[in-house]
Amino acid sequence: MRGIFEDELKKLHGKFTEMGINVSEAIYRASKSFIDHDKALAQQVIDHDEAINEEEIKLEDQALMLMALQQPVATDFRRIIIVLKASSDLERIGDHAVGIARESIELKGEHRVSEIENDIAEMTNTVRAMLEEVLDAYVKEDEVGAKKIANANQEIDAAYAQVREKIIQMMKQDAKIITGSTSYLMVASYLERIGDHISNIAEWVVYNKTGHLAELTPDHHPEEK
Amino acid sequence: MRGIFEDELKKLHGKFTEMGINVSEAIYRASKSFIDHDKALAQQVIDHDEAINEEEIKLEDQALMLMALQQPVATDFRRIIIVLKASSDLERIGDHAVGIARESIELKGEHRVSEIENDIAEMTNTVRAMLEEVLDAYVKEDEVGAKKIANANQEIDAAYAQVREKIIQMMKQDAKIITGSTSYLMVASYLERIGDHISNIAEWVVYNKTGHLAELTPDHHPEEK
């Protein structure tokens, strides 16, 4: 029975990782659609979100089966629950990718600011690298790796604070960019929140090992000094 | 055994509702701190967030105990899992309340726009009413009530789109309000996302009854026409 449980849990982790890879792809495409003003690509991200939501439900069904059929011991329940909790974060990251894609579709400002677009591209690369790392730490149940991810999230927080300040200054100097700049602001804030969700997943990895939910990023929000 | 399980599940629901009430209070205080420029109240919201996070962990511990000790049947697992999923949404709403509180603390613009502040106060009232309704629908396992909540969320989406447009127009007319207006924009977007999380909880209520996760709000984001 133990062997079957471990095998099934491994399958569950495999599905989780797959979902994570799809979500990472969604972030990439959403951000690319925004920077390239590619509304068709943005629409693809929006259409694909339902598949990500379905992955979450399938994970849940599989977890329920595992609980009901394999009669896990108490500590095993935690390992299953964590997959479910972390998959909520993945699903929410997917929603934020959709948020970015919707900004691409709605983008009205004709006046582009390439400096800000570069910052957004860089933030995108950072959160995708973080997501890859957290998926890896997750599968390996690597507590140390998970803690490192929290530091990367502080970088994202700092990048967001900087971009926001830059956007404010630019809007003050040129009223023509105001409409488009609110989109820049929203996209940057989506990326910042994606970083928070990745940190949440990292926290679940630590929780799995320790039974305690360490707040790895006590200062999620960069605005506070 | 059945009787004990039902009693314990009821206790779990009770804790969930309590957490929901605390989260609603956090939204109220955060929004009030923002409108009143009350940094002390904002700090209270930030400090109290840890207690909300702990409630989530306690809910999880209680759920794990219930699973391990009461040996629920397959369908009961779903009812427990849903508490955990929905509590993730409550926790995240609490985080958004913290986001609003941080905007209050950081508020730099001296130039207030009372019209926008009124809109924010109104959005706050709407999301709190929605949260109250979803908690009620949740405890009563009321699928019909849950579906109504999705409609209320569309109101919030529309309110957000309107406020955003208003803020853009005002910034264009008066550069002095730009700094403060980015805070207005962020707070409005936090409230909009709180509405999304409440819709998520409503979706879990429906899922609990039907086993299917209906996307009650296919258009979470109001930007798309």
Cβ separation B67–A77 shorter than 8 A:
yes
Q: Which residue of B has its CA nearest to A62?
A: B78
Task: Quote the ipTM score.
Answer: 0.87
Examine the pLDDT at B128 and tell me if it is beyond 90: yes
Q: How confident is the model at residue A174 (pLDDT cuts 50, 70, 90)?
A: very high
A54 neighbors A172 (Cβ within 8 angstroms): no
Radius of gyration of chain A (CA): 19
B107 lies in some domain: yes
Q: What is the pLDDT of residue B217?
A: 54
The token pair that represents B43 in the structure block: 């700090």
Chain A contacts of B196, Cβ < 8 Å?
A: 95
B222 lies in some domain: no
Q: How confident is the model at residue B93 (pLDDT cuts 50, 70, 90)?
A: very high
A222 lies in some domain: no
For the beta carbon of residue B65, count every other beta carbon within 10 angstroms: 14
Q: What is the dihedral of CA A223, A36, B159, A185, to 10 degrees?
A: 10
Q: How confident is the model at residue B224 (pLDDT cuts 50, 70, 90)?
A: very low
Q: What is the dihedral of CA B32, B196, B167, B95, to 10 degrees?
A: 50
Query: Which among B73, B85, B186 has CB closest to A88?
Result: B85
Q: What is the pLDDT of residue B107?
A: 82
The minimum CA-CA distance between B14 and chain A, rounded to whole Å, is 20
Query: Which among A63, A105, A224 has CB closest to B105?
Result: A224
Chain B contacts of A168, Cβ < 8 Å?
A: 178-179, 182
Q: How confident is the model at residue A213 (pLDDT cuts 50, 70, 90)?
A: low
| Test mutation, A50, A73, A82, A85, chain B, max B CBs within 10 A | A85
A198 lies in some domain: yes
Examine the pLDDT at B223 and tell me if it is beyond 80: no
What CATH number has the domain bearing residue B108? 1.20.58.220
> Within an 8 Å CB–CB cutoff, is residue A57 touching chain B?
yes
Cβ separation A213–B53 shorter than 8 A:
yes
> Within an 8 Å CB–CB cutoff, is residue A166 touching chain B?
no
Examine the pLDDT at A167 and tell me if it is beyond 70: yes
B158 lies in some domain: yes
pLDDT tens digits, one per residue of A77-132: 888 988 999 999 999 999 999 999 999 998 876 788 999 999 999 999 999 999 99
Q: Which residue of A has its CA nearest to B177?
A: A172
Q: Which residue of A has its CA nearest to B225?
A: A106
Question: Lowest-pLDDT range, A58-67, A125-134, A167-176, A216-225?
Answer: A216-225
Number of independent structural domains in chain A = 1
Examine the pLDDT at B213 and tell me if it is beyond 90: no
Question: Lowest-pLDDT range, B19-28, B100-109, B156-165?
Answer: B100-109
> Within an 8 Å CB–CB cutoff, is residue A7 touching chain B?
no
CA distances to A44, A186, B88, B215, B216 from B201, in Å: 26, 24, 9, 11, 10
Q: What is the pLDDT of residue A1?
A: 58
A102 lies in some domain: yes
The minimum CA-CA distance between B180 and chain A, rounded to whole Å, is 10
The token pair that represents B92 in the structure block: 């995240």
B224 lies in some domain: no
Cβ separation B68–A68 shorter than 8 A:
no
| Test mutation, B34, B69, B92, chain A, max A CBs within 10 A | B92
> Within an 8 Å CB–CB cutoff, is residue B210 touching chain A?
no
* Cα distance from N-terminal residue to C-terminal residue, chain A: 53
For the beta carbon of residue B3, count every other beta carbon within 10 angstroms: 7
> Within an 8 Å CB–CB cutoff, is residue A161 touching chain B?
no
Query: Which among B78, B85, B175 has CB closest to A172?
Result: B175
The token pair that represents B214 in the structure block: 């209906």
A224 lies in some domain: no
Domain interval for residue A120: 2-210
Cβ separation B77–A68 shorter than 8 A:
yes
